[in-house]
Structure 1
Amino acid sequence: MFSGSVVGSANALVGGWGNMGAGVTYVLMPLIFDGLRSAGLSDHASWRVSMVIPAGICFVIGLACLLFSDDCPQGDWSKRKQHQIEEIHYAENEKTVEVHDANKADKTKTIKDDNESIISEKSPKVHSPPRPTIGMFFRALKNPNVIILMFMYACSFGVELAVDNVIGYFFHDHFALSQTRASMIGALFGLMNIFSRATGGFLSDYAYQKRGIKGRLIIHFIIIFLNGVFLVAFRFSLTNLRDAVIILIIFSFFTQVN
């Protein structure tokens, strides 16, 4: 979908803003919970009723995707081959005027080439992937590149998911903060996605322009190394709340830039 020179930035920006929802959730859900409790509901009922809000948002977004988005670049998934066949028939029916003048022949050929180029862009070839089997899965696991990529992803997005899941409770338990205050601090980890992941994409694309794929790998190594450094540093920053929050923000940046 995106060219090689900008694919890192494009994917990182979209993915980062999507993952920012974790931070927004940490901000909104405690406020909704507190509001329901203030309205007279018990704690037991408040957190259950508050789940209706994200469920409703998910329903609306899912409905919007169903009604307004395309299945794939060729349109409806079930009709993609039909559209391709129609474009091919259109190309075959294009008439080329026979001429004897060299200049006119060049113009005719140019027009025909342009038409073929436009048709090719409108209906790229659709290659049906082979049906996945358990054997294909195990063959992929034998590839060292796949194993390395699995660990790299676990050290980036895997760490992010794990931290998002427990960070609010951790601050609530370790520093004896209120649920709302602990969640607000925990939200910082997810809200860093507003620019951190996009920064990683921009750095990766810049390195690619300078050094090719090797540049991307160098940037990735530096970031994942610093991610580990600040994860260890976070462990030693827990003596006071201020240091813990500062290191959490830096650690969050390198986790999501990765």
Structure 2
Amino acid sequence: MPAIFDHFVGHYKLSPHDAWRRAFFVPFAIIVGTAILMVVLCPDTPVGKWSERHEAVEANLRVIHEQGRHVPQSSVVYGESTGASPADSTEKVDKLAITKDVEFGKGEVTEIDAEYAHEVIEKPSAKEIFKVFISPQTVALMACYFNSFGSELAINSVLGAYYLKNFPKLGQTSSGRWAAMFGLLNVYGRPLGGIISDIIYKYTKGNLWAKKIWIHFLGVTMGVFMLAIGLANSHNQHTMIGLVAGLAFFMDASNGANFALVPHVHPQANGIVSGFVGAVGNFGGVIGAIIFRYNVTNYGKSIWILGVIAIVMNLSVAWIRPIPKGQIGGR
């Protein structure tokens, strides 16, 4: 954006007043073009059409069946070839009312684990949406993302001006370029947060508490970096940019780690959870912008305030279990 702005001013001789406004047409075109391509080229879900989402589960179970997976006794529906009596078969079905049949072939044993059944996305009702929204697990994820993504949006919007204030010799364009690096660090920070979360999950043998602790560790550390930046308010360029780079890693990693846990929470309503978490992250950006607005050019103060909020909110929801007690699926 600084380069586009400079091009309009230098090549087209526009005033800065007009140049920065016209510069926004470029990202606008990119965003709209990307949205159109997503609608036209992308499937409804990662496994295909929304209307055929159940078929993906059936296909996965068919593969598992063909590979000779051990079938838990409680989740088997007996067919003709098992030798089981009709009474036994009926009793098994009654004991697992939530089990659905997936037919692998005539006369074969058919099964679907309750876990798989509960991981199929269902069409949401108003009651289900509200239930998911007020769930402590959803609230915990929203609180963490409110701080990580919300603070990122707010800081992104003022970082160029903050650099320009503390380092006037940089000028507007160089300040903007250094500030842009804060967002660019998402390229490695956000994926690493999710990747490390999954690695921790693997080596703790599927312990979801490990994923959750990782989220809060990142959130609190992010808050500490914001406190350091805001309270130090450094006028040493290397120190400031180093602190901001450190903040960017933990902040971006926190975003990625958050969405590494999201699929485990209410898997049958994963879109609802994802939507609420993402929306609250944007809302956090609005609140952060208001904090910056009322502190005017005292950027350091606004940043350490965001740091305090991040630490307090992360610690406040750290005790909430990763998934609801008794939840089937999501592991």
Do they superpose with TM above 0.5? yes
CA separation of 1:181/1:112 partners in 2, compared to 1, >3 Å: closer, same or farther? farther
Identity of aligned residues (%): 29
- Residue 128 of structure 1 is matched in structure 2 by 123
Superposed counterparts of 1:70-81, under 5 Å: 70-72=43-45, 75=48, 80=51
CA separation of 1:245/1:147 partners in 2, compared to 1, >3 Å: closer, same or farther? same
Q: Deviations over 1:199-218 (max 9, x none)?
A: 11121111111221121122
Superposed counterparts of 1:60-75, under 5 Å: 60-72=33-45, 75=48
CA separation of 1:149/1:44 partners in 2, compared to 1, >3 Å: closer, same or farther? same
- RMSD of Structure 2 on Structure 1 (CA): 3.4
Q: Deviations over 1:70-111 (max 9, x none)?
A: 22357555xx27x97xx9xxxxxxxxxxxxxxxxxxxxx975
Corresponding letter in the other structure for 1:222? F
The farther-off stretch of 184-193 and 229-238 is 229-238
Matched, 1:34 2:6: yes
Kindly indicate whether the alpha-carbon contact (under 8 Å) linking 2:225 and 2:247 is maintained by their aligned counterparts in 1: yes
**SS of aligned partner of 1:178:** helix
CA separation of 1:208/1:172 partners in 2, compared to 1, >3 Å: closer, same or farther? same
Q: How many residues align?
A: 198
Corresponding letter in the other structure for 1:67? V
Matched, 1:200 2:193: yes
Kindly indicate whether the alpha-carbon contact (under 8 Å) linking 1:237 and 1:247 is maintained by their aligned counterparts in 2: no
Superposed counterparts of 1:208-247, under 5 Å: 208-211=201-204, 212-235=207-230, 236=232, 238-247=234-243
Corresponding letter in the other structure for 1:60? G
| Superposition TM-score, scaled by structure 2 size | 0.52
Superposed counterparts of 1:104-119, under 5 Å: 112=106
Q: CA deviation at 1:225?
A: 2.1
| Superposition TM-score, scaled by structure 1 size | 0.65
* Cα distance in 2 for residues equivalent to 1:224 and 1:126: 29
| Greater relative CO, 1 or 2 (CA 8 Å, sep 6+) | 1
Unaligned runs of 5+ in 1: 1-28, 88-108
Corresponding letter in the other structure for 1:31? A
Q: CA deviation at 1:132?
A: 5.7
Give 4+ residue runs of structure 1 displaced > 6 Å after superposition: none
* Cα distance in 2 for residues equivalent to 1:112 and 1:187: 61
Kindly indicate whether the alpha-carbon contact (under 8 Å) linking 1:223 and 1:254 is maintained by their aligned counterparts in 2: yes
Q: CA deviation at 1:129?
A: 1.4
* Cα distance in 1 for residues equivalent to 2:191 and 2:45: 25
Unaligned runs of 5+ in 2: 59-102, 255-331
CA separation of 1:31/1:133 partners in 2, compared to 1, >3 Å: closer, same or farther? same
* Cα distance in 1 for residues equivalent to 2:190 and 2:47: 29
Q: CA deviation at 1:128?
A: 2.0
Kindly indicate whether the alpha-carbon contact (under 8 Å) linking 1:230 and 1:250 is maintained by their aligned counterparts in 2: yes
Larger helix percent: 1
CA separation of 1:113/1:133 partners in 2, compared to 1, >3 Å: closer, same or farther? closer
